[in-house]
Structures are given as C-alpha cells and as structure tokens.
Amino acid sequence: MPADWGSVPDWVQTVGNLVILVTAFEAIRRERQRTRVLEREQLEQSRQRDLELVSGVSAWPEDWSSRDVRLVCRNGCAEPIYDVTIQVSEVSTGAPPDRSDPQGTKSIFMMRPGEEVETSIDLLHTVPDQPLVEMVFRDTRGNRWWRQVDGRLLPLPRSAITARVNEDDG
C-alpha cells in the first residue's frame, strides 16, 4: 500500500503555516534585540545625566605643612550629597576610601548644594609632598560616586556598596 502524502492544498497550508511561524519568531527576536539596545541607550543617558549632576563635587588640600592636613570639600551641585568620606594619603590605594579605616579619613553626613566645608585630618606623620585626596559620596538618587586622586569621577557598582554596608553593619 503506497504512503498517503496528502493533497496539494494540505502541502500549501503546511508550508504557509511554517512560513508564518518562522516570520513570527524572527519578529519577536528583532523586537527583543531592539528593546535591549534602547534599554542600554537609556541607561547610558541616565548615567551621563547623573554624572553631570554630581560633577561639581570636589575636595582639595589647603595646607599640609604639618601632620594636620586642612581640606576643603565643596558640593558644587544643585542637590545635596550624603555619606561623604574623604581620604588623605601619600599614595593612591586604587580603591575607594573606606570609612571603617579612621586613619586619614573624614566623614561628613550631608552637604547642602553650594556648601563648602573646611575640615582637617590628623595623619600619623608629616606629608612631604602634596597629599592625595580621594572621596566617596552618595547622590540623592542613591548612586555612589568615587572622586579619584586624578580628579576622575567614577560610579561605584552596587555590589561594592552592598559589601561596604554589610561590613559597616557587622
């Protein structure tokens, strides 16, 4: 008995259904890809806006002729900043300042927009050259930022924030 391969209309319908199915999957794949690209662009634009908002935050040494280093910290932003930690050292550690290490650090709870705070940090020894100043702070959106010794402003990843909060609590 010969195999029944169906009629021509059955074949046309089956091929048509396959074409529709493949086209639908391709449309879904393209839409997902376009959505991912748009989300990445929006995230980058948001991060750039955040960076522009906090770019006016800085700290610098005023006097370092003794072990007592006088510093000025300025919030040149239009919004307050929180949890400011300033660190003075002779060499950069390559890591954000850590408030759990009290030597060479100063913490400020909040700074209002345009506020300038003069403070001092007592070091264990006299700094021979200009001291390096780094700082970490949080903006009003909860983002943490690291102003490095060379002036660059970098966002801190959420995992670094969580680790520091857990260390402070423990």
Q: What whole-number distance in Å separates Cα of residue 104 and Cα of residue 125? A: 11
Looking at the predicted structure, is the pLDDT value of residue 165 above 60? no
Contact between 136 and 156 (Cβ < 8 Å): yes
Percentage of the chain modeled with pLDDT above 90 = 35
Contact between 140 and 98 (Cβ < 8 Å): no
- Residue 163 vs residue 133, higher pLDDT: 133
Fold adopted by 56-169: Immunoglobulin-like (2.60.40)
Q: What whole-number distance in Å separates Cα of residue 67 and Cα of residue 74? A: 22
Looking at the predicted structure, is the pLDDT value of residue 66 above 50? yes
Q: What is the pLDDT of residue 8?
A: 85
pTM score:
0.65
- Residue 45 vs residue 31, higher pLDDT: 31
pLDDT, tens digit (0-9, with 9 covering 90-100), for 14-34: 999 999 999 999 999 999 999
Q: What whole-number distance in Å separates Cα of residue 137 and Cα of residue 110? A: 9
pLDDT, tens digit (0-9, with 9 covering 90-100), for 125-146: 666 677 888 999 999 888 899 9
Question: Which residue reads 């879904």 in tokens?
Answer: 28
Q: What is the pLDDT of residue 145?
A: 92
